[in-house]
Structure 1
Amino acid sequence: MLTKAEIGRRLWGPEAGGSENTVSIMFQMLVNAENREEFWRIFQLGWPTADASWEWRTIMKDFLDHHSPAAPFLDGKDKEFFDGLPGVVTVYRGCSSDRVRGLAWTTDIEIARQFARGHRQIDVPSPVVATAQIPKAAIYTVSKRPANHELRGCR
């Protein structure tokens, strides 16, 4: 099973080539994951730093559906955050108006607004902040790193 250090080296090492390549590198690692625990470790580490993920949303959703739920593999602040969510969660997504049906949402409207304005020098044409209420059971996984209250992959 891959260690966090090895996952990090593959995702962000010199040969990775930047955050726009993170999803494709992560996807290959997910395909080869030995088990669900390793799958979620790879996804938890890779997804927050992945840019250019829109084209991957359908296949990634299929993978997430197949390997869900992630809750048994959460720990620390991620587990605490997930356990504290109510049965129905209000979520936000800052993005281009034609990309509302993406995988990454947040419980923090300010973070959604930041994404709508653009982040890491990524232009956002026709920016919107979408709002939805979803059942907690529809959340694939969560992240409190780096304090982004991200809900990864809302079904």
Structure 2
Amino acid sequence: MAFNHFDEQGRAIMVDVSGKQPTLRTAVASAKVFLKPETLQAILEGNMAKGDVLGVARLAGIAAAKKTPDLIPLSHPLAIHHAAVDFEADPATGVVRVRATVRAFERTGVEMEAMTSATVAALTIYDMCKGADKSISIGEVMLLYKEGGKSGLFQREETA
């Protein structure tokens, strides 16, 4: 398998996408935050000491999508046209599923932007709740969907 992030001497490079035609690219990624059910209940009721946890996490995720090239060394700076972060909360189990969607008309995909967005939103939930719940964990970060470009459509079969 050839790796396109290395030159002939094995040095890391940013892939040259200048010859590719821009197309509409979309990616959806998710992450799960595992909290105590009572912590999630406090979030949903707006009773966390640091304020609106999900509102702040949404903004952090959107900002993270735009900052991805600053965090992932070989990712391309992109003109992102849409970024959104949504949450599905299960109060019985204490699980919050973060879903980040990113869209751009570009020469390369937006998977890293969606993955970064979902991860930073999850980290923000952790940060805003760590004082109340030391057992919080984050996991199951994954690409759920991507379309656009030469590789076409990818859709992960949803898992529970």
Normalising by structure 1, report the TM-score. 0.24
Higher helix share: 1
Normalising by structure 2, report the TM-score. 0.24
Give the number of the structure with larger relative contact order, counting CA–CA contacts within 8 Å between residues 6 or more apart. Answer: 2
State which structure, 1 or 2, has the greater radius of gyration over its C-alpha atoms.
2
